[in-house]
Every structure is written in C-alpha cells, then in structure tokens.
Structure 1
Amino acid sequence: MTALGDSVEIDDRTLLVLGQGLDVTHDQPDVANALVHRAGDTLVLVDTGATAAFRSALRDAADRLGPWSRALVLTTHGHPDHIANNDLADELGVPVEHYVPALDLDQMRDPTSYWVRSFQRITGLAPLPGSATDSSTDSSTGSANGSTPESTPAPALAADRVLSLFQPMRPFGATTRTFEERPLERVRIGSLRFSGWTFADGAVRVLRSQGHCAGHVIVHLRDCGVLHLSDEGNGACGAMADADQLKIQTALGAVAHLFQEGEAELLTDGHTFAVRRGAEAVTHLDGLLEQASLLQTAALELTRESRQVRPSTFLARFAEAIAALGVGGANPNAMFTAMMAVNQLRELGLRPESDAIDAYWSRPALRIHASGPAA
C-alpha cells in the first residue's frame, strides 16, 4: 500500500515520487507522480504535482539526490495535478530553468475556462461535481465560491468544485518559459526520430507527443533508461476536450519500439504508481493499444443500429463495453467515462445535431450533386 509522497528508488540518482488518486467526494485531489533525477550536477524535476505534502516530499527527494548546483524543472502538461507546485523552482537556491508547453499556457492561466469546456460536453450525461446531484456539494452554497446552482451553470459549478481541490495553485515561477522559446530539435533515439528538446548535454530528452492534451510532452532520461509517459498512458481513450486519439496511440507505439530496441529500460507514468521494466513495459503498451482498438470496435457496433445516436443511450452501453473488456485508466469514474464516450463518438465521425443537452449525434451527410461527388 502506497501513500502520497512515497518514493520508489530507480537508481542512486533517480526517484519516482508517488502521487494519489482523485476522490472529489472526500475533497482529495489527484496528484501526479513526479520524477526526481540528477544528471551530473543538475537536479531534474519532471512535474511538481499538487498539495503542500507532495511539495515537501519533492524537496526531501531532491535533497536525497544531492549535491547539485543547478536545476531543471520540466512540466509535461498543464493539468492542475501536475503544476500546482511549479513555483518550487524558485526555492531551490541554485540557478534554475523551468519549462512548460506553450499550447497549455491558456489552460494554466485560466483553468476554469478549460474545465468548463470539458464539462459542457457531458452536461446531462453524468453527475457533475458541484451540481445538485453531486453529494460532495455544500448544500449551503452549491459551490466553492458561494454561487448557487440556480445562478451558475452546471459546468461552471463543476469546474469550480474540481479546481477548489488544487489549492494553493502556483503554476508559474520567476524563471518559467515555454519549451517553444527554444529552437526545435530533431531528436534521434535508436531508429526513431522525434521532435522536441534536449537538456543536460543530451541526458534529458523532452519529446512532443500532444495526445492527452494539446501541449503534452514525454521525457526520456538517457543515462538511467527511464521513459516517463506522464498522462499519455492514462488509458485506451483520451478523455479531455483537447485529447487527440491518434497522437496518443502514436506515442504509445513509438515508446514500445524504444523498449524493443533497448533504448528505454524503465517505463513510468503520471498515475499508475508503478515502474515497468523491459518486456513488461512493452506488454503494457501493447495492451493499451489493443484496448483502444477494441473500444473503437465496440463503439462502432453501438452506432450501426440507427442514423442518429442519443449520447445518454450510447454512454450506458459504452460503459458496459468498458467493463466487459476490462479497460482501465487513471481515476476511473462516471464523469471520465462520459468524457471518453463523447470523444469516441467524435472519433467515429459523428457530430451533435444541436447544442441541446443530450442532442442526437449523427454522421454528416455526404451531399451528392447531379454532376458527381462534391469537391
């Protein structure tokens, strides 16, 4: 049994500091795992998680790997469970560089709008945190900021409720820059070519993946053979509004190839609290790819029956398919299942017919003109 802030020793210069799962009902934020590594005289932190307790655990892990005379803080993406302690970079007492993905800056500056957008897609499909049907809502206020359910739309209440768990939220420090302010590099690892950036004389490779969300990166630590997927490995289907299923699957396939070539030896990620070695990592990655295919096949079968698909009906049967296939993922709950279902409908080419709650989805008509197919 692990606890928030426990660490797994990978080698004498690398620790995986463990986070925790999301439990909105009990006011528990999810906290992403973080990597702490020393590359020569450089301390490398990959993500900073959330909560004061996790911040303290990161400091302890960094001290354990000392001495170091400079620091590099890398943010894999802009979700609150990865960025709340980013200003820790200002407290390390050495020259420090901190980089975040440019495509995630908007959500880091204004996380409420980002989460409202995500929750708007599933309004009426699943209970939203902070709503009247959510048992974790304070009945005296309806939300963390005192708004009432009558005056605030459900997606805004849900965003407010979720983000209230991640306090204090300090995503930026004095040295924060975007990766994209550096020249983009062609990064060759074994037989594969990536685009991204290298640090510490090539010992740290930041590779663009952009599947789990718009700006997502993964990190390869050359000298210890660790490949950190962060949240690209969260499950077979991305849930967020800016998730890209093709990019998720492409990243998983590329990483599996790196393990098969011996260019990576240990797989870590943001939420499964495990270190997978060699063939075990390949099996895990292949399993995620197989699950993605099975889920899409199941979704296709569920949408063959009629031209129009009611999302609520599809969600109920899609959830049954998830259970039957044994498909897991980080923080499994009804809310994220609904987000996955909507993404799966869109992945199959369906689109909502209106903005109404639980409006029918259908495939756009292919207009055929008398002279032949439309251009």
Structure 2
Amino acid sequence: MTASTTALGDLIEIDERTVLVLGQGLDIGHDQPDVANALVHRAGDTLVLVDTGVTTVFRTALREAADRIGPWSRALVLTTHGHPDHVGNNDLADELGVPVEHYVPAPDLDQMRDPAAYWVRSFERIAGVTPLPAPPPLTAGKVVSLFRPMRPFGATTRTYEERPLERIRLGSLRFTGWTFADGAVRVLRSQGHCAGHVIVHLRDCGVLHLSDEGNGACGAMADADQLKIQTVLGSVARLFEEGEASLLTDGHTFAVRRGAQVVSYLDGLLGQATALQAAALGLTRENSGIRPSAFTTRYAESLAELEVGGANPNAMFTAMMAVNQLRELGLRPQSGDVDAPWSRPPLQNPA
C-alpha cells in the first residue's frame, strides 16, 4: 500500500493485535486538514491507542481497528504531542466503556488549549518572508478551523509528567520516559519536533512509533529542537541495528518499514539534514546581512536539488524551516522589522 493508493482511515494490519490507521496530507487550498497516522495495539487485555488524529471519519476508523484487535477490558490512550492533527479525537477515551488512562505531554498543554495562539506565533516568524494568505492571526485561524471536531481532552486526561520519570534501558541505549502495561509499552521522551514530543515502543510486536520526529531534514515549528530531532533519529537507528525494534511507523508516511530498511531510511534523513545545512551554510557565507525572504527562495531551490522532502510540503512550512535553519547556523535578526537582515553576532564586545 502506497501513499498514492491510500485513503483516510485505511488500516494496515501489522499483526493480529496491532493496526496502523492511516491519515492524510494537508491541503489548505481545498480545506483539507492533515491527519496523523495512529497505532492501535493490544497489550494483554489493554487496548493501546497512540494518537487519535482528527475528523469523524478517522474516529470511526479507530473504533473499527480497536474492535478488530479485541477483546480488551481496559484502555490506554497516549498522545505523542499536541499538534491538532494528532489530538482531535482524544475524547474517544471517554467512549470506550472500560477503565481508561489518557496521557498528554505537559509542555504541549498551552498549544492544546489554544492552538490558534501557537500557530500565530509560527506564522508571525515568517510574515514578510513568504506570502501568507492573510495576516498571521487570520492565517492561523484558517488553519486551525480545518481541524474539526477538536476535542484534545477527556475526563481521564492527565500529563505524563504527573507520573514518576523512569530510566528505560533498551539494548545499549538509555532513555527517560514512562512504561505501561507491565513494561509492554514504553513512552520515550524525544522533544525534537516540538517541546513535548514523545515516541512509543511496543515491546511485544517490535514496533517503534516515531510519530513526527522524522518529518523532514529541518524541524519547522517555533519550538522545534534540531539537535534533539537528529539525536533521536540516530538512537532509533541503533535500536534497529541491535534488534530492539523491528518495525517503524510514523505520523505522516503511509507505510510500515522493516529491519535494515529502517536503518537506511533513518540514515537517509540524517544525511539530508547535514546536506541541507551545508547548502544553507553556502548561502550565508557573506555576513553583510541575509534577508530571510531571499534566503528562503534559495533554500527552497536547495530542497528541490537535494530532493529533500518532508510532511505536508508547502511554501509556509518551507519558510518556517528556512528561519529555523538561519538560527541553527548562528545568525540572528538585526532588528525587529519585517524581513530584517540576519547576520552572525560579533564574537567580541565592541571596545
């Protein structure tokens, strides 16, 4: 099954107790929200939902997948991060009819409560850098309005951080996070794609769900951490090399990757990140002032030349990546003006 032949809510059966529910890409021009893939798994008598996507169509598909892998007598709903395409159906936890726990990352609570403000911040960073369909508040409102219904919280919602933090050993690697279902479900802190991001390891079926940590060579969001993204990609590759995981799923590529294919894929993402940063460095050799708008145009050309992809490619996300790339290279805006030049700060204080 490939992206060109999938439809929202299609199911990929991984084994008799694990199903990947497929989402869809973003198409703002046609009022189509992106919907993140979700994992549905049974660990003993516990139903595990990793993300809930958005839209009523996807909600129905989640229920179908949950029925397919039954029976179960309790439920665990895990949110990988707070973006709207992952959390819209979180109140499904209240409708499962069994004892349920639902956890979300504490650093993402603000954006879950007020997603419009989060996206205003994102779009204000690129105002004047690339054409926006409207001023940042209106553009953010338009984007957020696509994600309906939006119910990120339920009666049982708690934060992961209310639980004691655990040291988790997988092969030669050490993580911090939380375990559930007698260790069959491991939630590992990654926090690269956005401030609260986690990834999920399902011990019994060997699935590692990367969610959105592999969305592209450069994180686009204002709270993205490029080092953490690259670190988690390297760590996950090591888990596959050591046989601690055998299947990779994520939030926005509509596939299940296996074994050695995973290591090659992750190495490719890291290779794209270094190649793109090298290209960006070449575009900023002159330190007389780099205007983000001009840099973004040339940065987009580099993306095409390097055949670097990512989830939901469009001009706004490219501009968001470009601004993050400038900051990653050590440049800073010379003023608060729209499209003000960026340069490297002097290394010595003026006399």
By how many angstroms is 1:369 displaced? 6.7
Q: What residue identity is the alignment partner of 2:42?
A: R
CA distance in 2 between counterparts of 1:42 and 1:351 reads: 49
How is 1:1-375 mapped onto 2 (pairs within 5 angstroms)?
Answer: 1-129=5-133, 131=134, 154-368=135-349
Q: Secondary structure at the match of 2:263?
A: helix
Percentage of pairs with the same residue: 80
The 2-side partners of 1:211 and 1:305 are apart by: 29
Q: What displacement does 1:367 show? A: 2.2
Task: Kindly provide the amino acid, as one letter, of the partner of residue 285 in structure 1.
Answer: L
Write out per-residue CA displacement over residues 84-137 of structure 1, whole angstroms, 9 at most, x where no aligned residue.
Answer: 0000000000000000000000100111110000000001122324x2xxxxxx
Cα separation, 2, equivalents of 1:330 and 1:369: 44
Q: Output one character per residue of 1:69-90: Cα deviation in whole Å (capped at 9) or x when no partner.
A: 0000000000000000000000
Instruction: Supply the distance in 2 between the matched residues of 1:3 and 1:111 (Cα, whole angstroms).
Output: 26
> Which whole-Å deviations, capped at 9, do the CAs of 1:13-55 have from their partners, x for residues lacking one?
0000000000011010000000000000000000000000000
- Structure 1-normalised TM-score? 0.92
Distance in 2, Cα, partners of 1:266 & 1:165: 32
Q: Give the match's secondary structure for 2:313.
A: coil
Shift of 1:364: 1.1
Alignment partners' CA distance in 1, 2:303 and 2:295 = 12
Count of residues in Structure 1 that have an aligned counterpart in Structure 2: 347
How many angstroms does 1:368 deviate by?
4.4
CA separation in 1, counterparts of 2:250 and 2:349? 48
> Please, which runs of 5 or more residues in structure 2 have no aligned partner?
none
Q: Secondary structure at the match of 2:231?
A: helix
Q: Distance in 1 between matches of 2:226 and 2:350?
A: 33
* Residue-by-residue CA offset, 1:201-230 (whole Å, 9 max, x unaligned): 000000000000000000000000000000
RMSD: 0.8
2: CA distance, partners of 1:323 / 1:19: 25
Structure 2: distance between partners of 1:274 and 1:127: 33
Deviations 1:289-346 (A, max 9, x none): 0000001101111000232101111111111100000000000111100000000000
Q: Offset of 1:168 from its aligned partner?
A: 1.2
Q: Could you state the TM-score of these two structures normalised by the residue count of structure 2?
A: 0.98
CA distance in 1, matches of 2:137, 2:349: 42
Distance 2:23 2:153 in 1: 20
Instruction: Name the CA distance, whole Å, in 1 between partners of 2:211 and 2:321.
Output: 18
CA distance in 1, matches of 2:198, 2:178: 10
- In 2, the alpha carbon distance for the partners of 1:355 and 1:205 equals 43
- Equivalent-residue separation in structure 2 for 1:214 and 1:5 (angstroms): 28
What is the distance in 2 between the residues matched to 1:16 and 1:304? 45
Distance (whole Å) between structure 1 residues aligned to residue 73 and residue 167 of structure 2: 28
- Structure with bigger gyration radius: 1
- 1:218-261 CA distance string (max 9 Å, x none): 00000000000000010110000000000000000000000000
Contact 2:287–2:344, Cα closer than 8 Å, also in 1: no
